[in-house]
Amino acid sequence: MHPILGTILQRLLLGLITLFFVSLIIFSAIEFLPGDFTQAVLGQAATEETVAAFRRELGLDQPAYLRYFNWVGSVMTGDLGTSFSGRASSGVDRSRAVVDLIAPRLWNTLFLAGMAGIVAVPLALFLGVTAALYRNTMYDRTVNAATLTTISFPEFFVAYLLILFFASLWPVFPSLANVNADTPFMERVYKCALPALTLTLVIVAHMMRMTRAAIINLLASPYIEMAKLKGVSRTRVILRHALPNAWAPIATVIAFNLAYLVVGVVVVEVVFVYPGIGQLMVDAVTTRDIPVVQACALIFAATYIILNLIADIIGIVTNPRLLHPR
């Protein structure tokens, strides 16, 4: 078997094992959440017999290990369960499948993350490459200062500043990103401009500084010095020689930040009242909707694992020592 293929298969197996342990952590953490869904729905005046019957109807009376294996088995078949929302002790079941609840919210989050990523990744690469190209100049210092400033503020503070300037003082964009399935594409882009800009400002600094550091580190390599001695221009040295060999660390930090765009947008979604999966999870935790919380957390974990796996594969493929094994 080719070394690269073997390494990729090892990474895939490691990712599946990691996801298994993450599912254990998710289930255990939810077990320790304070409060009880049945008690919250029925109220404090409900009798113990009514609460017990409702718990039995929801399957919450089963042992924890049995509920865990039932959940994992259902997830492996593509069934994320049924939401507790809409369940009542009256016998009328108005609950919905978790997939039906998550699908539109996940699409909204992916759309917002895609908007931010399309702007942030090329911008970070451009700033990182040019900062390395003009190292220790006024341009380099300005870019570093600007990116460090944006990363020093929490997301909600950046969001409220953008709302203040671009939705209040100069009303260019709406302060609320209230979109739905029927919202036209361009209107969706317009309403998502401020939350996407918030995410862009937050993640550009990480990617830009990693790109700059990786390229500066490679510029001290012997083959780069040889290219300079041959009269190759500094721009060509960076773009043709340094940047291709810097993809491994750059891909890792890009994957980490893209995962953050999907997983860490909860604060931004809440500030802009954006109907994404992060806000859905917050609402589910508040109402103790266990199947929705489990599904959202598992999707977040799988996103991190998949994107980091892709970054590992890119690092392997772009590593000459693995491409040309002895």
Please report the sign of the dihedral spanned by the C-alpha atoms of residue 285, residue 290, residue 294, residue 296: negative
Is the predicted pLDDT of residue 245 greater than 80, yes or no?
Answer: no
| Six token digits for residue 107 | 């699409």
Residue 247 CB neighbours (<10 A): 17
Digit-coded pLDDT (tens) for 157-202? 888 999 999 988 888 888 888 888 888 899 899 999 999 999 998 8
Residue 322 has pLDDT above 60, yes or no: no
Confidence (pLDDT) at 89: 47
The span from the CA of 206 to the CA of 189, in Å, is: 25
Task: Convert the pLDDT of each residue in 48-89 to its tens digit.
Answer: 777 778 778 777 778 888 888 888 888 888 888 888 776 654
Answer yes or no: are the C-beta atoms of 122 and 100 closer than 8 Å.
no
Q: Within its chain, how far is the Cα of 224 from the centroid? A: 36
> Which SS3 state, helix, strand or coil, does residue 185 take?
helix
- The SS3 call for residue 81 is coil
pLDDT at 123: 92
Write out pLDDT tens, residues 284-306.
Answer: 887 778 888 888 888 888 888 88
pLDDT value at residue 3: 67
The crossing angle, in degrees rounded to 10, of helices 138-152 and 193-218 is 130
Quick one: residue 325, left, alpha or beta (phi over 0 = left, psi -120 to 50 = alpha)?
Answer: beta
DSSP 78: T
Q: What is the pLDDT of residue 87?
A: 61
* DSSP labels, 98-113: HHHHHHHHHHHHHHHH
pLDDT tens sequence across 265-281: 888 888 898 888 888 88
CA end-to-end span of the chain: 14
% of the chain exceeding 90 in pLDDT = 8
- The residue among 167, 162, 165, 124 whose CA lies nearest residue 143 is 124
Closest CA relative to residue 141, chosen from 159, 127, 153: 127
Do 76 and 244 form a contact (C-beta atoms < 8 A)?
no
Question: Rounded to whole angstroms, how far apart are CA atoms 316 and 29?
Answer: 35
Query: What integer pLDDT is reported at residue 211 of this predicted model?
Result: 85
Q: How far lies 211's CA from each of 52, 149, 304, 321, in Å?
A: 57, 18, 21, 21
The predicted pLDDT at position 111 comes to 92
| Six token digits for residue 57 | 């109807």
Average per-residue pLDDT for the chain: 82
Q: Which residue has the higher pLDDT, 39 or 150?
A: 150
Task: Say how far residue 308 (Cα) sits from the centre of its chain.
Answer: 11
Per-residue model confidence (pLDDT) at position 28: 87
Backbone angles phi, psi at 220, to 5 degrees: -90, 0
Residue 317 has pLDDT above 50, yes or no: yes
Question: What angle is formed at CA 190 by the lines to CA 185 and CA 192, rounded to 5 degrees?
Answer: 95
Residue 12 has pLDDT above 50, yes or no: yes
- The string of DSSP letters for 147-178 reads HHHHHHS-HHHHHHHHHIIIIIIS--S-S---
Residue 324, pLDDT above cutoff 60: no
Round to whole Å and give the CA distance between 175 and 156.
Answer: 13
Locate all alpha helices (DSSP H) within 134-246, ordered by sequence: 138-152, 155-163, 185-191, 193-218, 222-229, 234-236, 243-245
Amino acid at residue number 307 = L
Domains of the chain, start order: 107-286 (1.10.3720.10)
